[in-house]
Amino acid sequence: MTIATEEPGSMKPVLITGASSGIGAACCEWLLARGYQVFAGMRSPNEDARLKQQYGERYQLLALDVTDAESIESAMNIVQSRTDGKLSALINNAGVAYSGALETLPMHQVRSLFDVNVLGTFAMTQACIPLLRASRGRVVMMGSISGILAAPGLSAYSSSKFALEGLSDSLRNELKPFGIRVTILEPGKIETPIWSKALQQLTTKEEEMSSDGHSLYQPLDDFYRHYAANEKATPMSELLAVLQKALEAQHPKARYTVGRAARIRSLLMHLPTALRDRLLQRAVPVTSDD
């Protein structure tokens, strides 16, 4: 990997969405420590006093709901007014994760997931392109291993992350003439609050669904409960190392799969579909007959 020789960060402005928790909060702190000016987008801005004290004006909170056009417009006005109209990078991180058999997923959950994960990413990218063009900046998408390999019970989440793969592939070539690089990160499991939120969503879904649906797919829900609580996670440091490549390598890759488990899972895509399906069926029980 070749890293650009200039001072890392050097006050370059970066906007990250979903900076209130998990990966977004960790990236925000890493970016500040590395010398970037960070616009930390949050639905409910909650200033971290420690970061403010340590980094002062380089840490800028931004009220930002990626599903709300007015919120995006006011956030972009603030970014415009506090930069010289240039943005070095947009990190599209905001996201939600819901699991459950499609038959049992309330449509309002599916819609809100697509609103955040897909349409929110489209809207933020659209709003930032002029500022990114002005500095030949970078777009980083927070994809997922579920955007490469679609397991049963993840139809909504996986298809939203597959959509980000398509978006990244298309944009990479669309924005190349302007010198804007587009990279998608594909992490496996990382320990963040997304997992407790996913458990909460499973409970809400079960309360809303019929008892038929509940008994038919209970093993699938139990599998994801167990996965959320017990599956070994990739350390956040691996994701941050890859973020550095996406932001600072002279020639960043189109995609980076993050973590050993995710890299092993991505290999399954090279198998014939019938064999891959058999392995997935064996690994993920759907009904009690499995």
Ligand X SMILES: NC(=O)c1ccc[n+]([C@@H]2O[C@H](COP(=O)([O-])OP(=O)(O)OC[C@H]3O[C@@H](n4cnc5c(N)ncnc54)[C@H](OP(=O)(O)O)[C@@H]3O)[C@@H](O)[C@H]2O)c1
Active site positions, annotated: 157
When the beta carbons of 83 and 92 are compared against ligand X, the nearer one is 92
Residue ranges in 194-233 that form contacts with ligand X under rule CB under 6 A: 194, 197
Yes or no: say if 66 and 121 are a contact pair by the CB < 8 Å rule: yes
Of 30-38, 59-67, 168-176, 219-227, which part binds ligand X (CB under 6 A)?
Answer: 59-67
Task: Report if residue 94 touches ligand X, rule: CB under 6 A.
Answer: yes
**Least distance (Å) between residue 170 CB and ligand X:** 19
Q: Is 193 in the site for ligand X (CB under 6 A)?
A: yes
Report the residue from 96, 113, 167, 220 that binds ligand X according to the rule CB under 6 A: 96
110 binds ligand X (CB under 6 A): no
List the one residue from 52, 67, 119, 204 that touches ligand X (CB under 6 A).
67
Instruction: Determine if 239 is a binding residue for ligand X (CB under 6 A).
Output: no
- Candidates 7-15, 101-109, 184-192, 204-212: pick the segment binding ligand X (CB under 6 A): 184-192
Q: Is 109 in the site for ligand X (CB under 6 A)?
A: no
Question: Under the rule (CB under 6 A), what is the footprint of ligand X?
Answer: 17-18, 20-24, 43-44, 64-67, 93-97, 116, 120, 142, 144, 187, 189-190, 192-194, 197
